[in-house]
Chains A and B, each alone.
Chain A
């Protein structure tokens, strides 16, 4: 299973964009890069995933480096509800998620 490195914490202002980085230099060529987040007192929630190309959905955008050794989750306009722990997870088997420590994002009004 690939190891990931993320900042322990980040801070953002409400309504501003947030870029959450993740290094996954040992990722295999067929692993998808998944991002989940966990709000306080809740189970993790799927955010987005991708393989090689950049991806967009209603929640966020995912930018994947050309060598796939890193990726960045982009929240275009942070809201207070986006305060959570964000995990990037290379996935080689559906449903088997190896969580790291994640990045705790705080959002200031």
Chain B
């Protein structure tokens, strides 16, 4: 039990639609990162939020966006869904941005785009 919860656990959307995934971090953790994991691959870093500001982004287009709220919750929004967006989406919370900080992952949201 990591104390990081994600909702929903599973979701099916149609190509072209928009989706919002939610994450509740551990209390006191001011850093949240989002990852996309395709089947059989390692997780890929999407972006990180620190104190409600974006703090780094991986190789993902602008239709992937996020928000972080003062109550340690966060959202990942994906617009104009494509079939290749089907994946497991993971959020991870960290106490801060230091190099020796560990990340606590949620169980993920399985998104299927049809």
> How many B residues are at the interface, by size bracket?
20 to 34
CB pair A100 B42 closer than 8 Å: yes
Contact A94 B31 (CB under 8 A): yes
Q: With a CB–CB cut-off of 8 A, which chain B residues contact A95?
A: 31-33, 48, 92-94, 97, 101, 103
| Contact partner, B102, options A42, A43, A49, A102, Cβ 8 Å | A49
A101 to chain B: which residues have CB within 8 Å?
Answer: 41-42
**CB 8 Å contact bits of B1-37 with A (1 = contact, 0 = none):** 0101000000000000000000000000001110100
Number of chain A interface residues as a range: 20 to 34
Could you tell me if B105 and A43 are in contact, using CB atoms closer than 8 angstroms?
A: yes
The yes or no answer to A5 lying at the interface (CB within 8 A) is: no
Per-position binary interface string of chain A over residues 85-104, scored 1 when its CB falls under 8 Å from any chain B CB and 0 otherwise: 10100011111111111100
Give chain A residues whose Cβ lies under 8 Å from the Cβ of B103.
36, 44, 46, 94-95, 97
Question: What's the least CB distance linking A9 to chain B, in Å?
Answer: 13
A-B contact pairs, 12 of them (CB 8 A): A43-B92, A46-B104, A93-B97, A94-B31, A94-B95, A94-B97, A94-B99, A95-B31, A96-B33, A96-B48, A97-B103, A99-B45
Query: Is B65 interfacial (CB 8 A cutoff)?
Result: no
